[in-house]
Structure 1
């Protein structure tokens, strides 16, 4: 990266950003809140955050600010093939910006620029890929309008600094998400087995699911839009079918079934 001598780094802002984004404990929410916080650190007109699986395929819907679904679909279906920046720096280390990579005199006349970027007021861009031990986890792209200043060296330094933290956080959330998915699948299989064994009705299955999630009778009633007395009636039927007398015994029965199926 260029000489940093005259670049003032506001370390307190970096520290606060890392602290705030480090508290995000859901992979599904991470990209949105990351970009929301990032806009205070590096102002942008538009942005997107893509997450990738182990095969480097996009996971779910990317989070976008000021880029609508129609624009995203057009890019995914066609314009990504014309994206010169993607061709140059995708899955590469380091923060980059468009004005360092391309000659705007030529590039501003390209189909991708005139038909896609310019029409959506995406003039300047900067971005960075997030890696954890050589594995691509995500990519962040920021955009500014032509009327705004280009991304600065300071902006690129900030991207470099926070990407290192983001790599650790996203990788941790990937691991937690995998554990959660495996647990949910296992619980689903156990629920299917128990439902068949005890011949539970669909409503009884719903009540049992919420009970195993630790919900009180009041919360189960609210979730299923039924009265507390109806919840108690369903629980009584479940206890009778499972030959238990309480929540504790029922939970123990399910837990025992999980162990036996491990």
Structure 2
């Protein structure tokens, strides 16, 4: 699926990933994810569940929501694993972004128990979800919801979610599984230089990576390095090819995870 984002939107995505990486706890990370996502993908209600598998069944626990829920049975309904069609996505060995309307038609969805007992009462109709799975380990399910009078989530919204998959996988895995590589006592510039050397980046390409990791915009990078946008694009294309990433957000995640 292809889409385009403006330069300022890419810059915000990088800043968003940076804020998420600075979060120290699972709850703080979830709150930051939902708060930041709302800026790029408008939604009414957002919720994040910790995910797991047991005896071929999906387990959803520890919900973090954008709204206060007095009745815990609302969350319990989700965490009991009764949500239609989620199982096949969370049981997959990789992360998946999906819209509710892509896996079940609105007409059929309106007949489900979860819609009648939860969604309809909260004026929620459209849903965009991402199951976060890393190294075949299910970590979380993020759900963004809109009311019936709003439009369904767009291809652009799906593209943004897909762009965020890699950094979300790494961050949640580091929190929930404790396997983040810290790189000893090296400073961030030293880690960037070491990782750049491992991928065979040139000095100029390493400078560009450092600016990307500092959330600089294309305009800022061109001014600081005295190069044109065409030259910057060529350098970024070479960097992506060498590091096997597709965009700046994945590049940011790669070098911050090093």
TM-score range, shorter chain: 0.5 to 0.7
* Equivalent residue, structure 1, for 2:27: 28
So what's the TM-score if we normalise by structure 2? 0.58
How far apart are the structure 2 equivalents of 1:16 and 1:84?
34
Larger Rg: 1
How far apart are the structure 2 equivalents of 1:138 and 1:174?
10
Structure 1 unmatched ranges of 5 or more? 179-262
Matches within 5 A, 1:1-262: 2=1, 4=2, 7-9=3-5, 10-52=9-51, 57-58=59-60, 61-66=62-67, 68-70=69-71, 72-77=72-77, 82-92=82-92, 93-176=95-178
Structure 2 unmatched ranges of 5 or more? 181-258
Q: Tell me the SS of whatever aligns to 2:4.
A: coil
Displacement of 1:31 in angstroms is 1.0
How far apart are the structure 1 equivalents of 2:79 and 2:171?
31
Query: Which structure carries more strand by proportion?
Result: 2
How far apart are the structure 2 equivalents of 1:172 and 1:103?
36
Displacement of 1:175 in angstroms is 4.7
Relative distance call for 1:150 and 1:41 in structure 2 (3 A) is: same
So what's the TM-score if we normalise by structure 1? 0.58
Relative distance call for 1:14 and 1:37 in structure 2 (3 A) is: same
Deviation per residue, 1:211-247 (Å, 9 max, x gap): xxxxxxxxxxxxxxxxxxxxxxxxxxxxxxxxxxxxx
Query: RMSD between aligned alpha carbons?
Result: 2.7
Relative distance call for 1:144 and 1:110 in structure 2 (3 A) is: same
Query: Which structure carries more helix by proportion?
Result: 1
* Equivalent residue, structure 2, for 1:183: none
Displacement of 1:69 in angstroms is 3.9
Displacement of 1:81 in angstroms is 5.5
How far apart are the structure 2 equivalents of 1:91 and 1:78?
16
Q: How many correspondences in the alignment?
A: 172
Relative distance call for 1:42 and 1:33 in structure 2 (3 A) is: same
User: Which segments of structure 1 move beyond 6 Å, counting only runs of 4 or more?
Assistant: none
